[in-house]
């Protein structure tokens, strides 16, 4: 049950992040994004600043601070979109592909699970 609630919260926050970042118009003729490959790339290229952004997002979600959550979701979304563009060769024109939303949600779940696993490891 805990993982389901946690996963839903992360997916909602990631969806908000993706939606808040993808507000500019892009050409619709872009080729499709390979969601699995993009997720793998994002995970492989994750740096501490990406983990820190997810931690801030998770904390604001847990504190039920919707204003701070929106701000952190926007920040997180910007950081992840920049990671995808700079390190995973995703052109800005592909950011409107629905696969990007799925990828950001999947990536958020993976990073969130890593954060929680690391936290529980320190408790032992």
Q: How confident is residue 29, by pLDDT bands cut at 50, 70 and 90?
A: very low
Q: Any idea which of 11-20, 62-71, 96-105 has the lowest mean pLDDT?
A: 11-20
| Higher pLDDT among residues 56 and 1, named by residue | 56
pTM score > 0.85 for this model? no
Q: How confident is residue 13, by pLDDT bands cut at 50, 70 and 90?
A: low
CA 25 – CA 107 distance, rounded (Å)? 24
Residues 6+ apart with CB under 8 A from 31: 94
- Which residue reads 């909602």 in tokens? 12
Q: Are 38 and 84 in contact (CB under 8 A)?
A: yes
Per-residue pLDDT at 124 exceeds 90: no
Token code pair at residue 24: 């500019």
pLDDT tens for residues 36-92? 999 999 999 999 999 999 999 999 999 988 999 999 999 999 999 999 999 999 999
Question: Mean pLDDT for the chain?
Answer: 81
Q: Cα–Cα–Cα angle for 49, 55, 60, nearest 5°?
A: 130
Burial of 124 (0-12, 13-18, 19+ CB in 10 A): exposed
């Amino acid at each position: 049950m805990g993982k389901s609630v946690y996963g839903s919260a992360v997916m909602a926050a990631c969806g908000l992040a993706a939606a808040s970042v993808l507000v500019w118009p892009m050409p619709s003729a872009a080729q499709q994004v390979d969601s699995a490959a993009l997720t793998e790339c994002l995970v492989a290229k994750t740096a501490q600043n990406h983990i820190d952004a997810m931690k801030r997002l998770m904390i604001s979600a847990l504190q039920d601070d919707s204003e701070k959550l929106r701000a952190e979701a926007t920040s997180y979304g910007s950081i992840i979109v920049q990671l995808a563009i700079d390190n995973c060769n995703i052109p800005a024109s592909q950011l409107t592909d629905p696969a990007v939303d799925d990828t950001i949600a999947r990536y958020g779940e993976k990073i969130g699970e890593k954060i929680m696993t690391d936290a529980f490891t320190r408790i032992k």
